[in-house]
Chain A
Amino acid sequence: MDDGKIDKILDKYPSDPSSLIQVLLEIQSDLRWLPKKALAKVSEKLKVPLNRIQHITTFYKAFSLVPKGRHQIHVCTGTACHVRGAKRVLEVVQNTTGLKPGLTDQDFKFTLETVNCVGCCALGPVMVIDGEYHGKMAPAKSEDVLKSYE
């Protein structure tokens, strides 16, 4: 694990408990998960007990205590996408990647997750991969999109 990275993130925020969530979010997006060692460091620097950090990391959806894949697939299953066929898109993505929502494959290529809304409802069904939005997903189109990721 990259200790330097964590120190750098910690240096950007005031060393008090109110920075906790912001710091964890940055570590999560940098390393794609929250390793134990990182949490210990955060606990020490921000003066927040480890068990409270544990509580936070399980309460908020953005955090993961296990490593995630290189590419993160978010299939929106929010209401607007749902009425436009998000379910079928999700099925195709599941079949193509062999993953169920919440899981990562053994090669750490993909992590699949469902989300409730990404704010592109007019273009539903929507799938977001590594922050890039793909709208008006038809099942075949989503397969093509997935294939373009290495």
Chain B
Amino acid sequence: MSSERTERIGSPAELEEFRKGILSKRDPKKPCISLCSGSACHATGSGKVAARLEEEIEKQGLSDAVEVRKTGCHGFCERGPIMVIHPEEVCYLQITPGDVGEIFSQTIKNNEIVERLLYTDPATNKKIAHESDIPFYKKQKRLVFGANGSIDPKSIEDYLAIGGYSALAKALFQQSPEQVIEQVKASKLRGRGGAGFPTGVKWEFARKSVDDTKYVIVNADEGDPGAYMDRSVLEGNPFSVLEGLTIGAYAIGASEGYIYVRQEYPLAVENITRAIQKAEEHGLLGENILGSGFSFRVKVHRGAGAFVCGEETALIASLEGKPGEPRARPPYPAVKGLNGKPSNINNVETWATVPLIINNGPEYFASIGTERSAGTKIFSLVGKVNHTGLVEVPMGISLRDIIYEIGGGIPGGKKFKAVQTGGPSGGCITAENLDIKVDFDELPKVGAIMGSGGMIV
């Protein structure tokens, strides 16, 4: 699988050629077993399953016939470890090392399905074989999070194979920085870190602050208990965050970037650090990116544990090596941020959404969700609900749909009491408001907030 390349990619044309090369070596009909290997999956024993899988392939001499891909989180963490066998997309749940032999003899060799590992629909008692037919996934719209289940976060080839870095090439060669900002504004993207500030407007402030050094920063502090979508995106699809960040740096005119990750997320630190290195090797980061003349460097900074560091001014203090204490604004970071220079901070999910907007155009993104809250949002649905995990839904979906259709209701058929959104500073929504539409403006009407996307039932 490794088409090792040390030479930097020097132009958009070369990028497309390289992408073609990767795709031509891949046979879409060849069975590919993807196994989730995020932090949460390890708690369910996915490491042991992976080891067993590799052993079996070795034993049966199948290393050319079957591909194994260790991906990030598929979202359905409750039922992890999760295995999806492509191209048929057969989805097995809660696999143990003991199941591996059977999966090989039945599914890989004979194309037969191992019934007992499938999802059972509690309503009909029917088995469901395909991932996309499982109710947990069916009502979701996984634009940002979807790729997590099909790529190996360690592999830049995997990211390129699904169209990665085409947005960066488009921005650098077909759009001026101002045009990029116009697109992000027109998409109506609002920050996913909690406050919901329009991202394009924020970028414009930073663009207009004149200085020879400017910074862009990824906020991956994710301090709200019960929320872990940022971790899963960074772990499972680090290149999407990097691509978004690089586009933002170009738009704002920043030459340096920081990724601030809480140290409780060691796998996220590892994966994003590797992604930076690979992107540099391929000429997608560093000096003269894709031959465009634009240069941009990124460093990873680990947080040391303090809830308040997720707040942007505290985060900046922490990046400077000081205690992470918030300071009064203004001046805003867009004017005076890191080291006193103009800085733009966005949340992980916000950055990861940017390539999607550049690729598909702002109208596409704005057409999803509601009038004032565009696009999709990832929520972590946890607590006392049947299907806990990460769910990505269009804004404006009802809370009832999230908890009952996707989440499968409350365990033991009990009554729903309340859901807490927005972390400790958020609020609780009770049963009479279950039909509320989930977006930035509706939730506050019942005393809750969107927050960063934690939903604790």
- Which A residues are closer than 8 A to B by beta carbons? 17-22, 24-25, 48, 55-56, 59-63, 76, 78-81, 83-84, 115-124, 126, 131-136
Contact = CB atoms under 8 A, between A and B. Distances in A.
Contact of A18 (B225, B265, B321, B424): B321
Contacts of A48: 321
B224 interface: yes
B43 interface: yes
A18 B339 CA distance: 10
A13 to B, nearest CB: 11
Contacts of A56: 321-323
Contact of A122 (B42, B223, B388, B424): B388
27 contacts: A22-B301, A25-B302, A56-B323, A59-B323, A59-B324, A60-B304, A60-B306, A78-B225, A78-B226, A80-B226, A83-B383, A116-B225, A116-B307, A117-B223, A118-B264, A119-B222, A119-B232, A121-B226, A121-B228, A121-B382, A121-B383, A122-B381, A122-B382, A122-B388, A123-B388, A124-B382, A134-B43
Contacts of B382: 80, 121-122, 124
A63 B196 CA distance: 33
Nearest to B380: A121
A87 to B, nearest CB: 14
Task: With a 10 A CB-CB cut-off, give which of A21, A48, A118 has the most chain B CB atoms.
Answer: A21
Contacts of B223: 116-117
Contacts of B67: none
Interface residues of B, number: 49
Contacts of B388: 121-123
Interface of B: 39-40, 42-44, 77-78, 80, 222-228, 231-232, 263-266, 301-302, 304-307, 318-325, 380-384, 388-390, 420, 423-424, 454, 456-457
Which 4 interchain pairs have the tightest Cβ spacing? A78-B225, A135-B43, A61-B305, A122-B77
Nearest to B40: A120
A62 B321 CA distance: 14
B228 to A, nearest CB: 4
Contact of A80 (B225, B305, B321, B322): B225
B78 A122 contact: yes
Nearest to B78: A122
B348 to A, nearest CB: 12
Contacts of B324: 59-60
A22 B321 CA distance: 8
A76 B39 CA distance: 14
A119 B383 contact: no
Contacts of B384: 83-84
Given A122-B78, A122-B380, A122-B388, A117 B44 contact: no
A22 B302 contact: yes
Contacts of A55: 323
Interface residues of chain A: helix, strand, loop or mixed (majority)? mixed
A131 B266 contact: yes
Contacts of B265: 119
B403 to A, nearest CB: 14
A123 B40 contact: yes
A25 B44 CA distance: 28
Given A60-B304, A80-B226, A20 B321 contact: yes
B44 A21 contact: no
A121 B227 contact: yes
A60 B321 CA distance: 11
B226 to A, nearest CB: 4
Nearest to B304: A60
B302 to A, nearest CB: 6
Given A62-B304, A62-B305, A63-B304, A115 B264 contact: yes
Nearest to B73: A122
A22 B6 CA distance: 29
B280 to A, nearest CB: 18
A59 B383 contact: no
Contact of B228 (A21, A63, A117): A117
Determine which residue in B44, B80, B389 has the highest number of CB atoms from chain A within 10 A of its CB, and name it. Answer: B44
Contact of B304 (A19, A21, A118): A21
Contacts of B228: 117, 119-122
B44 A123 contact: yes
A79 B456 CA distance: 7
B40 A79 contact: no
Nearest to A134: B43
A150 to B, nearest CB: 20
A128 to B, nearest CB: 8
A24 B305 CA distance: 13
Given A25-B302, A60-B305, A132 B42 contact: yes
Nearest to A57: B304
Residue in B232, B306, B456, B457 whose Cβ sees the most chain A Cβ within 10 Å: B456
B321 A122 contact: no
A18 B321 CA distance: 4
A124 B323 CA distance: 31
Given A118-B39, A122-B380, A123-B388, 19 more contacts: A19-B321, A20-B321, A56-B322, A59-B323, A59-B324, A60-B304, A61-B304, A62-B263, A79-B420, A117-B222, A117-B224, A117-B226, A120-B40, A120-B43, A120-B228, A121-B383, A121-B454, A122-B77, A133-B40
